[in-house]
Amino acid sequence: MAPSACGVRSKACDGRHGQTDGGRIRSGRRDCLFESRGFEVTDGAVTEVARVLIAADKFKGSLTAVQVAERVTAGLHQVAPEVAVETLPVADGGDGTVAAAVAAGFERCEVRVTGPLGEELTAAYALRDGMAVIEMAEASGLQHLPAGVFAPLTATTYGSGELLRAALDAGARSIVFGVGGSATTDGGAGMLAALGARFLDADGQPVGPGGGGLRDLVTADLSGLDGRLGTTEIVLASDVDNPLTGPKGAPAVYGPQKGASPEDVATLDAALAHYSAVLETAIGSRAAELALSPGAGAAGG
């Protein structure tokens, strides 16, 4: 059955088939008022119908949010085939955030970007009425790494910056940026580089990719940063409150999930602390202090 004007899975309900008066059917087969309250009206009879909304997130590493909802729906209909079911994929800022936005009516936009290992890949963001939803995992996620292959010191967020730039080019002036599911621990340096920042070593050359490259950082030049960032509302969507560095920071807590050895964790923690200090010198703000604030370590910083 097709969706009705009430958003209920039923036959057409456009007001032509009958009217109600005080909850009584005067004529017709179906009525929007009853359907919106979980009732089905057929031939003048009112029957209460169970309506279920399945708002499912992913089962990480096994099923997407859409697949979870499909399986729950199938199981529910096995025991109660008469139940009307609507599905709505949801997400926490990580994998599936763009898919959830598309399910809510956003347009899916694909673009070629740089993956976490420097490879070219296709990633997507969602766009509607000047608002974009970007999922960091689309460009810089663990799912782009070959099975059993990790790059904790060199994985880059450059492609996430390319996604953000593409959204700006498409006219987005409000961006929800989902941070989660990344293969990276570079403090967002790669993303900023894609947006015009320059991170230079003692010889004035760009540092290497990933958090490991930040060990050689001497100068952060933000003069070329995309000016549209200053006039765009950017909201970070995250479900963690880890700081950037320290015992509860991004390298210590999430580094091992991304293949980091204890030595790598120590290297990344020191590199990110150094990165924060250089940024503070460059922009004259409290970057080092902010690095210790809740959420600063989401998705590798």
Q: 3-state SS string over 66-77?
A: HHHHHHHHHHHH
Which tokens hold the place of 282?
A: 């460059």
Residue 277, pLDDT score: 93
pLDDT in tens, 180-239: 899 999 999 999 999 999 999 999 999 999 999 999 999 999 999 999 999 999 999 998
What one-letter code names the amino acid at 279? L
> Residue 182's closest CA among 80, 286, 300?
300
Decide if pLDDT at 31 tops 80. no
Which tokens hold the place of 197?
A: 């920042």
Residue 223, pLDDT score: 95
Residue 5, pLDDT score: 31
CA 155 – CA 142 distance, rounded (Å)? 10
CA 298 – CA 301 distance, rounded (Å)? 5
Which tokens hold the place of 59?
A: 């089962």
> Residue 95's closest CA among 52, 140, 132, 41?
140
3-class DSSP state for residue 25? strand
Query: Are 206 and 255 in contact, with CB atoms under 8 Å apart?
Result: no
Q: pTM for the complete prediction?
A: 0.79
pLDDT band at 40, cuts 50/70/90?
low
> Residue 299's closest CA among 89, 173, 159, 194?
159
Domain range annotation of the chain: 1-49, 57-85, 97-300
CA 1 – CA 104 distance, rounded (Å)? 20
Average pLDDT score, the chain: 85
- 44 compared with 229, residue with greater pLDDT: 229
CA 287 – CA 80 distance, rounded (Å)? 56
- 53 compared with 266, residue with greater pLDDT: 266
pLDDT band at 35, cuts 50/70/90?
very low
CA 118 – CA 136 distance, rounded (Å)? 15
pLDDT in tens, 151-167: 999 999 999 999 999 99
pLDDT in tens, 121-143: 999 999 999 999 999 999 999 99
Decide if pLDDT at 22 tops 60. no
CA 246 – CA 248 distance, rounded (Å)? 5
Work out the end-to-end distance of the chain between its first and last CA atoms, rounded to an integer number of angstroms: 47
pLDDT band at 59, cuts 50/70/90?
confident
Residue 89 CA, distance from chain mean position: 12
State how far the alpha carbon of 193 is from the alpha carbons of 83, 157, 159, 164, 188, in Å: 51, 9, 10, 12, 9
Decide if pLDDT at 19 tops 80. no
Query: Are 184 and 299 in contact, with CB atoms under 8 Å apart?
Result: yes
pLDDT in tens, 71-126: 999 998 998 888 899 888 888 888 889 999 998 999 999 999 999 999 999 999 99
- The mean per-residue pLDDT over the stretch 31-45 comes to 48
Longest CA–CA span in the chain (Å) reads 85
Side-chain-side CA neighbours of 212 within 13 Å: the count stands at 13
Residue 23, pLDDT score: 33
Share of the chain above pLDDT 70, in %: 84
Side-chain-side CA neighbours of 220 within 13 Å: the count stands at 22
Query: Are 297 and 245 in contact, with CB atoms under 8 Å apart?
Result: yes
The verdict on domain 97-300 having CATH code 3.90.1510.10 is yes
Q: What is the DSSP letter of 144?
A: G
The torsion angles phi and psi of 261, rounded to 5 degrees, stand at -80, 170
